[in-house]
Structure 1
Amino acid sequence: MSLRLPFRRIARSSTFGYVWSCGIVVLTTALLFVVQHTVGLQVANISLGYIVAVLLAAISYGLGPGVVASFLAFVSYNFWFVPPLYTFSVANPQDLFRLFLFLIVAVLTSSIAARSRSRTEEAQRRARIQEALYRLSQTISAAVEVQAILPIIAQQIARLLPIQGCSIQVLDRDVPPLTTQAGTIGSDGTAIVAPLRVGLRTLGVVRVWERAELPLDADARQLLETLAQQAALAVERARLVDETTALQLVAESERLKSALLHSVSHDLRSPLVAIKGAVSNLLDETVVWDGAAQHSFLETIDLEADRLNLLVRNLLDMSRIEAGAPLPPKEFAALDDVLGPVLYRLRTTLEPHPLELWIPADLPLVPMAVLQVDQILTNLLENASKYAPSGTPITIAARVSDAALDVEIADAGPGIPADERERIFDKFYRLGQAETAQGGTGLGLAICKYWVEAHGGQIWTEPRSGGGAIFRFTLPLDSAGPQHDAAARSIHDSYTSVSGR
């Protein structure tokens, strides 16, 4: 916005206006003299031409030049057109009356014209001010930070007012004063200060440096105060936005803490109760347990300890993720070399589900952070086992697609509604946001999403034909990486189908 308001009209308020008014009367006299000697105008009609000249002078340059034009027209009218010609004497009393009547009409006309001009200019000036303020408000409304708002306001003040430069300083109890400036901050001009005030609170100050040849008038000072008030409101709005955002972050943090405590307390209690019960039974000397019963108790302890380990691992990983932990260095590894230990570790969890593996023997080695991919597979398989009915299969398939390893894990569970397929990867989000018999912290899929994307891949879910859900993720391949030796693989067939554990 480059609009500058004309608070001072140097040319129009100078001697030029009076010279111009004299010139237009002289020009009108010459024109009327030629016309009068050509067509023979009556003396009464000649006065109307002078009235037009007076109107032009008053409308163009105000009351002063209009009055000067009135008196000069009066003298010229008398000298050139009222008998006796070329003298200032008046022979006929009626002519004298007409001359003074002409003078009165000319002065009144110039006064009315000047007043009308002044009101028109005032209305135009106010309209320009309103337009400038509106455009300024539109500009700063898009900014929500004080650091972005202050330069905009300083630049607009320097453009709207006839000043050398502008400086804005905002005071804050918690941080050092924030200062911005526009234009030239010189020592030769007078500084005018306007406070940034909202209610009874002063947020800062606006300083403007006047031009030595053009001091600010009352209207310009009033506009400066208006701009300072608008700046104060913008700064206050930005601060309120910051405070609201901070409060929202605190509320979200509290909500996440509550969700974490609720989820963790439930998931910690179940395995601890099971472990406590199994250990208590083993320590009960009043009962002699046979080998099978003792083995069952020990398996329970082992299974529940694994559940606790997975829970703690997810919590620790999420804390590292929240702290911005980078992806560990990658190394080339085969998918089945990572999948094998995961399946063995989850053998008890996956016991109720037949496993179907569809993995080509010639898959290339993949650059990956092995521990993180291990956790991705662990969380996805544990999630599939949790929601799939006992006896239904879990399918693990892999293939190369678009220069990436595409891995999918499918189950025959209840599936995931279309409107929740994106949200299930959010922290602490569980399907339906309701407590389920399976429990869960709602962290597993969020961790999977983070580590997959840290590898440069993608993860998503889609419906399974016949019911259930498919979770798929991709890991980018490195075409320059080493090729995997098929003879060293633990899965020898081109595709292997395994039923059972």
Structure 2
Amino acid sequence: MPVNDASRSIDNPAAGYLLAAVAGLLAVLVAAAAERWLGLEDLSLVFMLAVLLVAARTRTGPAVLTALLCFFAYNFFFIEPRYTLYIGARQGVATVAAFLAAALLAGRLASRLAMQVQALREAHRDALARQELGQRLTVAADEEEVVAVANAVFRKHLDAYVWIRLGERGLHADDVEPPAQPVVHRIDALARSRSIESVVEHGWWFLPLPAPDGPLGVIGLKLPAYIQQPSENQRQLTREMADDIAQALLRTRLVADLQSARLTTETERLRSALLSSVSHDLRTPLAAIIGAAGSLDSYGDSMGAEDRHALLETVRSEGERLDRYIQNLLDMTRLGHGTLTLHRDWIGVDELIGSAVGRMHRYQPTTQFMVRVDPALGPVWVHPALMEQALFNVIENAAKFSPADEPVAIDARRVGDHLQIEVSDRGPGIPEEERKRIFDMFYSVERGDRGQQGTGLGLAICRGMVGAHGGEVEALPGMDGRGTTLRITLPLNVPPASS
């Protein structure tokens, strides 16, 4: 812990006694000058001032020595007969005796006050160190950040480097060289036997990191060269800070365990939702395909051409529906693993919307659309297939809930440096508190994108694909307060020159 000059004078006995000798000599010189040039006769206050100055900066021993030196100097140089310790007048004996008593008492009181002030300074400094450590530990998210905070605070307040041993792992900042292996093995043995309390070895000072079930590990401090042995005050502060560090490490472990448990629970929930969705939504088209194929196989020869065509159309449409489900699952997997690669190209907004609408018409020929594209819109720099799939998912979701006699409105325009595509239906709408949830995987509220059929992945995939382009998707109230509007916002990026 960095210390100031005053605290060094108090803690260093040799410096205190040297200061006592120098103060006595200076007192003699100042008294002689005051007597000769200022005509002062009572010079005891000059020597008393020297005693007080030394006592205020040292401990009792140097203060007593200063009082004795000033007593003899005052007697020898300024009490008649001079230059002897003999005192001729009775009142002179009383004067120097009173001076000695007053000097000893004043020195004792001043020294005690100085030590109390120094103790208060150290307590304040220690409180600030613990406060800083506590504040910085509260935002440490993992063990590495806890070690970095501990190293920074100990460097500032104790001028020491930090190394922490947790089990078989040693944690330290990049600029800290860990202890030698023999020292580490010895400390590990002591930690396993739970007998380590305080060990100073090869410039390192080791303390346990206490925990309810035994030491969590060991913290080592690489002490600066000028600290051979930590003081009792430094030991106490370090033990308290080690407790704080141990509690922070326990907290990070608890947070990691809770996060792991949460991820496990979420994984199980998603797995259950996926199995439930797949088992229901994929079996439906499969059942239709199998039924149509079985009818053709058993009664195909006796059927008319129109009936056979209807069954074949069922096989085709349900096969395409099954293909969409599987494609959605594959896209969601690619998005989840971060393997979705963008191969951008120029494509017109009208062409993009037209492709998605035409694809939708193949699946639902009766769906009506009202498309408005700003003529001023030029081509956009996107991955055409992915953006067409994202737009198709939004259009499909709107078509599910739009009444048969109401068209799905598609409006594309430029807003600043962004492209906005709004798809609006005239369906029942989505409550405000649920609008963000429709972009979650397997969202199953009837008004959501799953509705009566679907895996609940369409809008989640749309958000992932648009997000990969730097855009966003949001759900808004529909026109005139009816239905829902899904707005896709894309930045109008400029491709690199090489493109």
Q: TM-score range by the shorter chain?
A: 0.7 to 0.9
Aligned residues of 1:54 and 1:106 also touching (Cα < 8 A): yes
Letter in 1 for 2:145: A
Deviation at 1:185, TM superposition (A): 8.8
Equivalent in the alignment of 1:491: none
Aligned residues of 1:155 and 1:183 also touching (Cα < 8 A): no
Choose from 392, 396, 405 the match for 1:391. 405
Aligned residues of 1:260 and 1:428 also touching (Cα < 8 A): yes
Residue 25 (str. 1) matches residue 37 (str. 2): no
Equivalent in the alignment of 2:483: 468
Single out whichever of 123-132 and 3-12 deviates more from structure 2.
3-12
Choose from 156, 163, 172 the match for 1:179. 172
Give RMSD over aligned pairs. 4.0
TM-score by length of 1: 0.77
Deviation string for 1:154-205 (max 9, x for gaps)?
A: 243234236xx524143355xx533336579999x94133134132134243
Deviation at 1:118, TM superposition (A): 1.3
Choose between structure 1 and 2: higher helix proportion: 2
Ranges in structure 1 where 5+ consecutive residues have no aligned partner: 482-501
Aligned residues of 2:209 and 2:243 also touching (Cα < 8 A): yes
For the residue of structure 2 that corresponds to 1:347, the secondary structure is: helix
TM-score by length of 2: 0.78
Deviation string for 1:466-497 (max 9, x for gaps)?
A: 3222334356668899xxxxxxxxxxxxxxxx
Change (3 A) 1:363 1:30: closer
**Whole-angstrom distance in 1 between the partners of 2:72 and 2:58:** 21
For the residue of structure 2 that corresponds to 1:261, the secondary structure is: helix
Equivalent in the alignment of 1:354: 368
Deviation string for 1:392-447 (max 9, x for gaps)?
A: 22234445665766544332112234444444333333558889752433211121
For the residue of structure 2 that corresponds to 1:113, the secondary structure is: helix
Change (3 A) 1:275 1:57: same
Change (3 A) 1:39 1:222: closer
For the residue of structure 2 that corresponds to 1:177, the secondary structure is: strand
Letter in 2 for 1:424: I
Change (3 A) 1:47 1:149: same
Letter in 2 for 1:438: Q
Aligned residues of 2:466 and 2:473 also touching (Cα < 8 A): yes
Residue 131 (str. 1) matches residue 131 (str. 2): no
**Whole-angstrom distance in 2 between the partners of 1:417 and 1:424:** 11
**Equivalent residue runs for 1:280-291 within 5 Å:** none
Letter in 1 for 2:113: S
Letter in 1 for 2:253: R
Letter in 1 for 2:203: A
Choose from 194, 210, 229 the match for 1:198. 210
**Whole-angstrom distance in 2 between the partners of 1:83 and 1:425:** 103
**Whole-angstrom distance in 2 between the partners of 1:227 and 1:452:** 49
**Whole-angstrom distance in 1 between the partners of 2:410 and 2:64:** 100
Ranges in structure 2 where 5+ consecutive residues have no aligned partner: 181-200
Residue 441 (str. 1) matches residue 450 (str. 2): no
**Whole-angstrom distance in 2 between the partners of 1:139 and 1:254:** 35
Identity of aligned residues (%): 30
Change (3 A) 1:391 1:20: same
Change (3 A) 1:273 1:49: same
Deviation string for 1:294-327 (max 9, x for gaps)?
A: 5444444433333222111101110011111233
**Whole-angstrom distance in 2 between the partners of 1:261 and 1:435:** 18
Equivalent in the alignment of 1:484: none
Aligned residues of 1:366 and 1:476 also touching (Cα < 8 A): no
Residue 53 (str. 1) matches residue 65 (str. 2): no
**Whole-angstrom distance in 2 between the partners of 1:48 and 1:185:** 57
**Whole-angstrom distance in 1 between the partners of 2:130 and 2:177:** 23
Change (3 A) 1:95 1:273: same
**Equivalent residue runs for 1:191-340 within 5 Å:** 191-199=203-211, 200-211=214-225, 215-279=229-293, 292-334=306-348
**Whole-angstrom distance in 2 between the partners of 1:477 and 1:87:** 102
